[in-house]
Amino acid sequence: MSWELLLAAVLLAALAGFWHSSLAARESANRAAIDTCASAQVQMLDGTVAIHRLSLVRDSRAPLALRRTYVFDYTEDGFSRRRGFVVLTGDSVDSVGLGPRPV
């Protein structure tokens, strides 16, 4: 086996691992957003979250971890569209929030 083929196999495996972890993180973020909307008695729009930011951070659980920020839209009254967020570090949910209420 040549070095180029071995490097290509390692890169393909790393890409597959990243894709798999991204799907699992998105599912966790989606569950957190749905639960937050249900507890706040608001309606989540579009039924899913969207990736907003991806970064490498230092974490107490691991020397380097991926921090993913997802956003989602929701409505309180059926007319106005508001934005919420979910932040995950690694595979754990750090925070979930809804936008500020209008005054």
83 forms bridges with which residues in the sheet?
Answer: 73
How does residue 102 score in pLDDT terms, banded at 50, 70 and 90? low
Give residue 59's pLDDT: 74
| Cβ-based neighbours of 67, under 8 Å, separated by 6 or more | 53, 54, 55, 56, 57, 87, 88, 89, 94
Question: What mean pLDDT is reported for the chain?
Answer: 91
Q: What is the average pLDDT across 27-51?
A: 94
- Residue 100 is given by DSSP the state P
